[in-house]
Amino acid sequence: MPPFLSLNRLQKSFADHTVLREISLEVEPGEVLVLLGPSGSGKTTLLRLIAGFEQPDEGQILVANEDVTPLPPEKRNFGMVFQHYALFPHLSVAGNVAFGLESRRVPREERLPRVTEVLPLVDLEGFEDRRVQEISGGQQQRVALARALAPDPRLMLLDEPLSNLDPSLRERTRRELKSAIRRVGITAVWVTHEQEEAFDVGDRVALLNEGRLEQVGIPEELYLEPQSLFVAGFVGRASTLKGRLVAGDRVRLGDERFVGQGATWPVQTVGDLAVGQDVVVSLRPEGLELVEAEQPEALVGEIVERQYRGEVTYYQVSLEMGQELLVVGESDRAATGTHVGVVHRQSKRPARAFPLPAEETE
């Protein structure tokens, strides 16, 4: 089956600032693709290109093999859900949903049946006559989703839809929106800067950085198999240490001149690395273990901070060689100020070794 949405080498600049650099992506029918990245990475601009609010300098946008690149937004038949709901407080829930149909010039006699059909899809059946200021923020966001779904769009675009909600509402509303989108079966592109949100709602996640596409994959791939140092650092928690590749799958960490301050650990190499090359190793907290300082192949340091998280605690270890590691362990493992060793946890997959950034090799 061909992809439903194809982005082919999209580029976009504003004045002399390049915002997007040759972005190519494919979205399958019924898939929810999340665009994830920090502020300024280009994810919202990319969504605006898909919607038709901006035109690319180069590249092509295909929907069901139709080139929609030159079409204005109203000709693309896409649904949009924004972080600001843009609901009308003087209208009821049904009135707000019907407004989306009216703006699309749907005949009056067809509006009420469509409103009645779409509200159960977002679990708002029976809310037709409620004023929008009488319902919760999460319910308001579902009204916005229902309004976008009512005209039967072929693609749904969501721009930071949960950012205006209180943290207590965010997770529940995320589940509700995800469930509604799955129930309808519509293809969707969802923008967020929150990793937890991206991993929860996305079938796949596309991570952007400074206008470039760093990696696309299911959440597990981005977390366990990052393809760049940026991905390893942005997704989840990670510490980094400099080292030198001493074999195809082993790296020497630390300085061999000082007893107890170096170790040779297994790694998975990313990119074309040669033995003897200086590298940066990305280490997940759950892949590390606190041990006695005298244990062989341990990096020695002192616990300077504890972050209690219920069943586990995150320990910040300041190493004698001058760097820090974040290690996850049992909550009663050690106290702040304890002299400890850190080793690679044998039950976990090896850490990832990346080429040393160019600016650090000069």
Res. 159: pLDDT tops 90: yes
Is residue 98 a contact partner of residue 118, using CB atoms and an 8 Å limit?
A: no
Is residue 234 a contact partner of residue 223, using CB atoms and an 8 Å limit?
A: no
Distance CA 244, CA 44 (A): 39
Residues 119-143: pLDDT tens digits?
A: 998 889 889 999 988 898 889 888 9
Q: Where are the beta strands (DSSP E) in the chain?
A: 5-14, 17-27, 32-36, 58-63, 66-67, 78-81, 155-159, 188-192, 204-209, 212-217, 239-247, 250-254, 262-269, 278-283, 288-291, 299-309, 312-319, 324-330, 339-344, 351-355
Is residue 119 a contact partner of residue 128, using CB atoms and an 8 Å limit?
A: yes
Cα end-to-end distance, the chain, whole Å: 48
- Cross-sheet strand order for the sheet of 204-209: 78-81, 155-159, 188-192, 32-36, 204-209, 212-217
Res. 362: pLDDT tops 70: no
Give the per-residue pLDDT at 230. Answer: 95
Question: In whole angstroms, what separates CA 269 from the centre of its chain?
Answer: 24
- Closest by CA to 42, choosing from 12, 59, 19, is 19
Give the per-residue pLDDT at 258. Answer: 46
Distance CA 218, CA 236 (A): 14
State the amino acid at position 354 in one-letter form: F
Q: Is the dihedral of CA 309, 313, 318, 319 positive or negative?
A: negative
Distance CA 128, CA 116 (A): 8
What's the rounded mean pLDDT across residues 146-161? Answer: 92
- Pairing, β 155-159 against β 188-192: parallel
Give the per-residue pLDDT at 358. Answer: 60
- Closest by CA to 46, choosing from 204, 38, 55, is 55
Could you tell me if residue 126 is left (phi over 0), alpha (psi between -120 and 50 degrees) or otherwise beta? left
**Is the pTM value of this prediction over 0.85?**
yes
Altogether, the residues listed in the chain come to a count of 362
DSSP secondary structure string for all residues of 149-208: HTT--SEEEEESTTTTS-HHHHHHHHHHHHHHHHHHT--EEEEES-HHHHHHH-SEEEEE
Give the per-residue pLDDT at 255. Answer: 57
Structure tokens at 105: 């010039």
Q: Is the dihedral of CA 133, 53, 76, 177 positive or negative?
A: negative
Is residue 111 a contact partner of residue 68, using CB atoms and an 8 Å limit?
A: no
Q: What angle do CA 283, 286, 289 make, to 5 degrees?
A: 90
Phi, psi torsion values for 324, nearest 5 degrees: -125, 150
Q: Which domains does the chain have, with CATH numbers?
A: 5-229 (3.40.50.300), 237-361 (2.40.50.140)
Give the per-residue pLDDT at 360. Answer: 60
pLDDT bracket for residue 240 (50, 70, 90): very high
pLDDT bracket for residue 63 (50, 70, 90): very high
Distance CA 219, CA 120 (A): 30
As a dihedral over the C-alpha atoms of residue 191, residue 196, residue 200, residue 204, rounded to 10 degrees, the angle is: 60
pLDDT bracket for residue 164 (50, 70, 90): confident
State the amino acid at position 69 in one-letter form: T
Residues 242-267: pLDDT tens digits?
A: 999 999 899 999 755 444 467 899 99
Phi, psi torsion values for 76, nearest 5 degrees: -90, -20
- Name the residue with higher pLDDT: 349 or 338: 338
Is residue 185 a contact partner of residue 154, using CB atoms and an 8 Å limit?
A: no
Give the per-residue pLDDT at 246. Answer: 92
